[in-house]
């Protein structure tokens, strides 16, 4: 009914049932300065005031695609199941504690990997694989495989949360708890230009967490 002109620009639309394509489209939207996406079921209709899952606002604060990325180190891996059988289903990621010179866990990363990358992980990481937890790794979790902290990945996350499971910034916010990256996703970038000690530090995660609290307390217009 409408054609684009100087006053009208049609919304960009993608029809897909592929999660990877949807995530890529979401990244494009954020990079273009948009708030996020409106996801709609193809057979849905607009129902004023109705709440449900036919139309969903997918905003960056709900997602693992914030504008800031962090660089985390692989210290372990969990065996894959189902279609991921034979490879790793998730990686145990850590931030660097420069005061203790150790790597403290902050999330399990299993999203954002293309299939070919996923099934290449065991071979790619075999040089760093160890039979037991490396001395410089601080973890309460017991993965199926341990790795010497060598490999750095770029990760996006929705937010930093308090966690009784992960050891990054342990007891800095709450006694007996560390900080975890919520909804982490691999960006596809291997930080070969960085050594493990150049990764995001536990202090930086703590600063990010405190900044989140300040932003949450700001009044909204």
Q: In CATH, what number is assigned to the domain containing residue 84?
A: 2.40.50.140
Q: How many other β-carbons are positioned within 10 Å of the β-carbon of residue 178?
A: 27
pLDDT, position 24: 78
- 134 and 82 in a single domain? The answer is yes
CB 36 within 8 A of CB 26: yes
- 123 and 190 in a single domain? The answer is yes
- 35 and 102 in a single domain? The answer is no
For 150-165, how does the pLDDT look when each residue is reduced to its tens digit (9 = 90+)?
999 999 988 888 999 9
Residues counted in the chain: 221
CB 79 within 8 A of CB 165: no
Alpha-carbon distance of 22 to 19, in angstroms, equals: 5
- Which of 40, 62, 84 is at the close of a domain? 62
The total of structural domains in the chain comes to 2
pLDDT, position 60: 57
Taking residues 84-108, report their average pLDDT: 95
Range of the domain at 195: 70-214
- 77 and 170 in a single domain? The answer is yes
Whether the pTM exceeds 0.75: the reply is no
Alpha-carbon distance of 60 to 51, in angstroms, equals: 20
Select the more confidently predicted residue: 50 or 186: 186
- 90 and 131 in a single domain? The answer is yes
In degrees and rounded to multiples of 5, residue 215 shows phi and psi of -65, -35
For 111-122, how does the pLDDT look when each residue is reduced to its tens digit (9 = 90+)?
888 888 989 999
- 130 and 57 in a single domain? The answer is no
CB 167 within 8 A of CB 105: yes
Q: Is the pLDDT of residue 175 over 80?
A: yes
Q: Is position 84 within any domain?
A: yes
Taking residues 86-115, report their average pLDDT: 94
Q: How many other β-carbons are positioned within 10 Å of the β-carbon of residue 29?
A: 18
- 86 and 187 in a single domain? The answer is yes
Select the more confidently predicted residue: 206 or 2: 206
Phi-psi region of 118 (alpha: psi -120 to 50; beta: other; left: phi over 0): alpha
Q: Is the pLDDT of residue 66 over 60?
A: no
Q: Is the pLDDT of residue 63 over 80?
A: no
With bands split at pLDDT 50, 70 and 90, how would you rate the model's confidence at 194? Answer: very high
Coil, helix or strand for 90? Answer: strand
Q: Is position 13 within any domain?
A: no
């Amino acid at each position: 009914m409408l054609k684009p002109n100087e006053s009208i620009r049609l919304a960009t639309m993608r029809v897909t049932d592929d999660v990877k394509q949807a995530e890529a489209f979401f990244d494009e939207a954020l990079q273009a300065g948009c708030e996020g996406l409106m996801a709609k079921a193809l057979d849905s209709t607009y129902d004023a005031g109705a709440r449900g899952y036919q139309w969903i606002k997918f905003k960056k604060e709900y997602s693992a695609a914030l504008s800031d990325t962090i660089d985390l180190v692989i210290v372990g891996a969990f065996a894959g199941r189902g279609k991921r059988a034979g490879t790793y289903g998730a990686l145990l990621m850590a931030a660097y504690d420069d005061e203790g010179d150790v790597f403290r866990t902050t999330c399990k990363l299993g999203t954002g990997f293309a299939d070919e990358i996923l099934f290449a992980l065991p071979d790619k990481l075999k040089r760093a694989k160890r039979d037991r937890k490396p001395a410089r790794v601080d973890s309460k979790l017991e993965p199926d495989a341990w790795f010497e902290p060598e490999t750095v990945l770029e990760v996006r996350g929705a937010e930093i949360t308090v966690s009784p499971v992960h050891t990054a910034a342990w007891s800095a916010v709450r006694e007996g708890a560390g900080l975890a990256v919520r909804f982490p996703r691999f960006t596809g970038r291997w930080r070969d230009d960085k050594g493990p000690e150049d990764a995001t530090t536990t202090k930086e995660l703590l600063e990010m967490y405190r900044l989140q609290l300040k932003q949450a307390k700001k009044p909204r217009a």
